[in-house]
Structure 1
């Protein structure tokens, strides 16, 4: 049996059985290493060495958490929450409640999209903004699976389609790795190639919101512990202005340096220099902000160890090559099979960005040999990499929504975030990505 298939299946089954994600990843990596012939000691060594591969990402998230918490001291989240309260106020009849739900979902999707492109703080906004809204969601009896689907859509669809913010990074990696594999493509081709797959995600979002999870769901009103209550936050025109200035500074520095770490640090410095928080408060902000993102950082670091073990076994290449034998020049079967391989790889390592280098090396020359057009190959590699980001237990696109929606302990990571997002985004991505590859 292929070590990658075994490792990913074990990790997914354990996760579905509600085993903690970090433990499920570690056990899956161990099983995969042993099946792949590495031996116990070598597997542990490779896993340990691989942990550092995502250290930069983990640090970025920690600093983004501190930046997001610093922004909360300007009162910006309070402003957004008060706006949401006005939306839900006096919603006596069912029609008004329905409109309130729709508007709140639209706001959540919009903010999630902005976090990838316009204000690239990624998932750091979720633990700040979402928990204060839980009581409002409860009052409206909103199904949190719909909310998880909304947030995950906003975290994934924009970077797949738009070459801005995190999308620019994704598109640059895609272009670079395809060029290294023998196919030079223009950056302008990527949005064209990914438009149809993303259209499938839009349909998945609409189904989740207006079909699957449209019925009311009841939750208990529970107190949510806030470790930073000692630092008061209120907003004025001046404080909101400073928040906007810090956001602009963060975006500008990140674009110029292509570093989330420097971007987050710049935003924190601007907030401090403008007096949004004091020197005394800075220690609490850094500590609580990093703590807020610590679990996600640990999962990302563990996923890097898992990915390194999978690479070391050599079974990723074997898996791709074995499936290639089945094609026999059949473009329809080849496209579908390569998409499913991409889904398996990304589900395991939890990162579409890290999946591109793994699959591009094999997929690009194979697709060229099968006669696919350059635009179709872009759609193939881009969609195959994006598959699994929504739905993977180790993905920040699922960990982020859970971090906010489970603030009161009533939202399960696997069954309320991973399974809904897997069903509503990966299935449409496979279908519409498959169509795009065949018609482009």
Structure 2
């Protein structure tokens, strides 16, 4: 039983590397976990489907955020940003990639649209990337950094949800901690992600890379929209009001669906987007974010199979059997367990409650402080999110970079982000556990 998680994640990884569709790969991994746990195929499917409801709220919020992003793009305000980037950063490859990382970072704490901005902002820049011979893997790394590092380190927006999840998981299992303390605990692991980004941009993918036609598999007839001369106007100002309204509601009620709905309602109420465009906005939003939302649903089903069969608990118990009183060894093993579990489930937010229930008793026994425990749980949850085929932190970048069929999800997004973020997270998360 203790090897179920490892073997099922191995199935997911191998199938993904062989370019099998990620949804099929996740289903195969879930069925593998169920069969190895003694369930029949039908029982495994039922358990997977039952678990999909755990991410229903997330899936709906992604659809609504997609519609909100489409409504924002309808006003042309994103064209202003694209034109600005093209005008200021043409020929400045490294600065452009870092600027994209900065823009992506805003999507977590300032403008709560998460990954919904990527399919709107990135495709118009693809032609420029090719002309400048930018290695798209560096852009994928920059986007994933922006989607993860802010919520890992900063308890605001999505970050507040992340740190509250850590706090609740620890409190429910016997260790009290404040949000301020969880933020302190995650600063060192977050610094590891900064190091990973700098290595990717300045070393690994610094060289020019020729665009390879068809590298992404299925070709898409894509033509970047023309860089129109759009000046800031009243609609753009009202769009910013809608964005601010979505941010405030999301921050006050800690609910992405409420925030996205607020933004959409304001866009129509302020006549920024004509009411008659409502059907088109929703349809385009579903087209943009629907596949990602469904991948998250299936991944939640896979996570349910692992949890309900006791596979994750068995893995932790087996690992703890090898542990000594040496905190350095305990910390490393717990981080590696988190990596295996999260890369399969693909959601740091969804994994932390599971890990907290298993890690807190072990950390108490090993004598870790609450801060060190929080760093281990938070880092273990973040580990694997970058690099996971089922993670929105990798699916989002691919949705934009593969708009012309020249970017492969696994080899051009997952592998680069796995290398540049998971390795530093293990190292810096281990350091945090040792010094806190």
TM-score for both structures, normalised by structure 2 = 0.95
Q: Which residue of 1 is the match for residue 354 of structure 2?
A: 358
Deviation at 1:225, TM superposition (A): 5.1
Deviation at 1:41, TM superposition (A): 2.2
Structure 1 range deviating more: 381-390 or 418-427? 381-390
Which of 422, 426, 431 lines up with 1:430 in the alignment? 426
**Matched ranges for 1:268-279 at <5 A:** 268-279=264-275
Structure 1 range deviating more: 51-60 or 295-304? 51-60
Distance in 2 (CA, whole Å) between partners of 1:176 and 1:228 is: 45
Instruction: Work out the number of aligned pairs and report it.
Output: 429
Deviation at 1:53, TM superposition (A): 1.5
Q: Deviations over 1:253-274 (max 9, x none)?
A: 1112211111111111111122
Matched, 1:142 2:134: yes
Judge conservation of contact 2:135–2:209 (CA < 8 Å) in 1: yes
Matched, 1:183 2:179: no
Q: Which residue of 1 is the match for residue 75 of structure 2?
A: 74
* Secondary structure of the structure 1 residue equivalent to 2:385: coil
Q: Which residue of 2 is the match for residue 294 of structure 1?
A: 290
Structure 1 range deviating more: 234-243 or 38-47? 234-243
Judge conservation of contact 2:222–2:404 (CA < 8 Å) in 1: no
Which of 363, 370, 373 lines up with 1:377 in the alignment? 373
Q: Deviations over 1:126-182 (max 9, x none)?
A: 001100011111111100000000000010011011000000000001001100111
* Secondary structure of the structure 2 residue equivalent to 1:115: helix
C-alpha distance 220-415 of structure 1, shift in aligned 2 (>3 A): closer
Deviation at 1:432, TM superposition (A): 0.8
Judge conservation of contact 1:131–1:224 (CA < 8 Å) in 2: no
Which of 386, 408, 412 lines up with 1:412 in the alignment? 408
**Matched ranges for 1:14-29 at <5 A:** 14-29=15-30
Distance in 2 (CA, whole Å) between partners of 1:322 and 1:114 is: 41
Distance in 2 (CA, whole Å) between partners of 1:14 and 1:220 is: 23
Judge conservation of contact 1:30–1:44 (CA < 8 Å) in 2: yes
Distance in 2 (CA, whole Å) between partners of 1:342 and 1:23 is: 23
Distance in 2 (CA, whole Å) between partners of 1:106 and 1:418 is: 19
Structure 1 range deviating more: 43-52 or 15-24? 43-52
Judge conservation of contact 1:123–1:396 (CA < 8 Å) in 2: yes
Distance in 1 (CA, whole Å) between partners of 2:224 and 2:70 is: 9
Matched, 1:113 2:114: no
Which of 272, 278, 281 lines up with 1:282 in the alignment? 278
Q: Which residue of 2 is the match for residue 92 of structure 1?
A: none
Q: Deviations over 1:1-33 (max 9, x none)?
A: 621111111011100110000000000100110
Q: Which residue of 1 is the match for residue 40 of structure 2?
A: 39
Q: Deviations over 1:374-406 (max 9, x none)?
A: 111111111111101100000000000000000
Distance in 2 (CA, whole Å) between partners of 1:419 and 1:291 is: 26
Give the unaligned 5+ runs of structure 1: 90-96
Deviation at 1:218, TM superposition (A): 1.4
Judge conservation of contact 1:142–1:217 (CA < 8 Å) in 2: yes
C-alpha RMSD of the superposition: 1.8
Distance in 2 (CA, whole Å) between partners of 1:233 and 1:57 is: 36
Q: Which residue of 2 is the match for residue 342 of structure 1?
A: 338
Distance in 2 (CA, whole Å) between partners of 1:45 and 1:55 is: 16
Q: Deviations over 1:64-106 (max 9, x none)?
A: 00000000011111001110221245xxxxxxx3xx2123122
Q: Deviations over 1:104-138 (max 9, x none)?
A: 12221111110000001100000011000111111
Matched, 1:391 2:387: yes
Q: Deviations over 1:348-391 (max 9, x none)?
A: 00000111111111211111111111111111111111101100
Deviation at 1:224, TM superposition (A): 6.8
Q: Which residue of 2 is the match for residue 5 of structure 1?
A: 6
Judge conservation of contact 1:47–1:305 (CA < 8 Å) in 2: yes
Distance in 2 (CA, whole Å) between partners of 1:349 and 1:155 is: 17
Distance in 1 (CA, whole Å) between partners of 2:208 and 2:291 is: 30
C-alpha distance 355-362 of structure 1, shift in aligned 2 (>3 A): same
Judge conservation of contact 2:89–2:95 (CA < 8 Å) in 1: no
Distance in 1 (CA, whole Å) between partners of 2:154 and 2:53 is: 29
Q: Deviations over 1:310-336 (max 9, x none)?
A: 112101101001110111212111110
Judge conservation of contact 1:73–1:233 (CA < 8 Å) in 2: no
Deviation at 1:234, TM superposition (A): 5.1
C-alpha distance 29-239 of structure 1, shift in aligned 2 (>3 A): same
Distance in 1 (CA, whole Å) between partners of 2:365 and 2:334 is: 14
Matched, 1:125 2:117: yes
Judge conservation of contact 1:148–1:416 (CA < 8 Å) in 2: yes
Which of 157, 160, 164 lines up with 1:168 in the alignment? 160
